[in-house]
Amino acid sequence: MQTLNVELGDRRYPIHIGRGLLAQAALILPHLKRKQVAIVTNTTVAPLYLEKLAQPLRDAGVAVISIVLPDGEAYKNSATLNLIYDALLENRCERSTTLIALGGGVVGDLTGYAAATYLRGVPFVQVPTTLLSQVDSSVGGKTGINHPLGKNMIGAFYQPQLVLADIDTLHTLPERELAAGLAEVIKYGLIRDLPFFEWLEAHIDKLTALDTDAMRYAIYRSCENKAEVVAADERESGERALLNLGHTFGHAIENGMGYGVWLHGEAVAAGTMMAADLSRRMGWLSDAEVARMDAIFRAARLPLEPPGLGADRYLDLMGLDKKVLDGKIRLVLQQGIGRSVVSSDYDVAALRATLESPLHG
């Protein structure tokens, strides 16, 4: 087991990474205010891991409530959130009850947001079971739900007490989901860590084969990168925006196609290549660098061809994004591999060209 501490002043919290962590109640017990937890999970994860997590807690004298939600991004909404509130109230959960999110990013975002807002805030623990949530959504305190008019429009910044990233859970992950998680891993190399990108180029096949040592290192280094960014900029006023590489384009793809058609990580990968294409058109990125990016995403088995929605539809979808500043869309672009920048200083004609025909300009 490796442990990384996210430094957020009085809200410092540890991320443990390793095998079999799910069943180690001793890791969770010191963080409980009282011996009552509500485990929030979904119908896919529950049969695989709910009892593995719950039974050792019960054996340690913890009262365990479980809340099983429907599975999927389409359920990351206020109706599902209300299912959590209802269960917590019906079970008379109090301010000292700890919520535990067991599942992927959707479960984590919903549970974290419920924890942030139930009784104006209760403690919570993240037990992410997908690669994407282990390297991304469980670090940094972003929680929230979607709205019919936009993704993640309602939410809160709220930090967990503890994150348990159990590598064993990745063995039950569908291949598409593993690839989507690798897209976020690769992102950390692209935005700020060239040596990690080079390590990934050398080890991408081990990661797709779920080699334990390679995977633990990739998760640790990803979390380390994200933790550094988040600790420096908790409220996303500056550097944290770099983490959104590929996300403005990616959200437009997800939203334009209907949530759930593309996985988030798939959309981010395709969106990152759109950002690369725009960067190349502006002379910030060489053809060779674009080719390296293309190659590693393909080796990770990610789809890179964005849907042809047309530039006008893309611009409309991107206009609703949170990363808008005074009406002007800011984008995360590449100035070489390992160096992303946030910029609104780009050529609009080049942007339209990218949106009309990415990778073909």
Strands 124-128 and 162-166, by their bridges, are parallel
Set 247, 280, 281, 330: catalytic member: 247
CB atoms within 10 A of CB 223: 25
Cβ proximity to its own copies, 142 vs 281, nearer residue: 142
User: What does each C-alpha distance from 221 to 15, 134, 258 come to in angstroms?
Assistant: 12, 11, 32
Concerning whether 120 is annotated as a catalytic residue, the answer is yes
The reply to whether 184 sits in an annotated binding site is yes
**Is there a binding annotation on residue 332?**
no
State the catalytic residue, choosing from 42, 152, 244, 255.
244
Q: Is 205 assigned to a binding site?
A: no
CB of 142 closer than 8 Å to CB of 157? yes
Question: What is the closest distance, in whole angstroms, from the C-beta atom of residue 331 to its own copies in the complex?
Answer: 16
Nearest to 156 by CA among 110, 210, 100, 124: 110
Q: Which two tokens stand for residue 295?
A: 């190659």
The response to whether 308 counts as a known ligand-binding position is no
CA distances from 45 to 49, 71, 102 (A): 6, 9, 8
Catalytic residue among 42, 142, 192, 224: 142
Is 64 annotated to bind ligand?
Answer: no
Identity of the residue, 97 or 272, whose beta carbon is nearer to its own copies in the bound complex: 97
Q: Which residues bind its own copies (CB under 8 A)?
A: 34, 78, 82, 85-86, 89-90, 92, 94-96, 116-121, 142, 144, 147, 149-150, 152-157, 235, 319-320, 322, 324-326
> What's the min distance (Å) between Cβ of 284 and its own copies?
26
In this structure, what token pair is assigned to residue 300? 């990770």
96 or 344, CB closer to its own copies? 96
> What order of strands is seen across the sheet that includes strand 36-42?
2-6, 13-18, 162-166, 124-128, 98-103, 36-42, 63-69
Give the other-Cβ count within 10 Å of 54's Cβ: 22
Question: Mapping DSSP to helix (H, G, I), strand (E, B) and coil, where does residue 17 land?
Answer: strand
Nearer to its own copies, 59 or 326 (CB): 326
Q: Which of 339, 340, 338 is nearest to 194 (CA)?
A: 338
203 is catalytic: no
Considering the candidates 187, 192, 221, 251, report the single residue annotated as catalytic: 251
Least spacing, CB of residue 322 vs its own copies, in Å: 5
Q: How far is the CB of 326 from its own copies (least distance, A)?
A: 6
Residue 152 near residue 146 (C-beta atoms within 8 A): yes
**Residue 147 falls in the annotated catalytic set:** no
Query: CA nearest 196: which of 110, 135, 260, 237?
Result: 135
Q: Is 264 annotated as a binding residue?
A: yes
CB of 12 to its own copies, least distance (A): 17
The binding site for NAD(+) consists of 71-76, 105-109, 129-130, 142, 151, 169-172
The binding site consists of 71-76, 105-109, 129-130, 142, 151, 169-172, 184, 247, 264
User: Which positions are catalytic?
Assistant: 120, 142, 184, 226, 236, 240, 244, 247, 251, 264
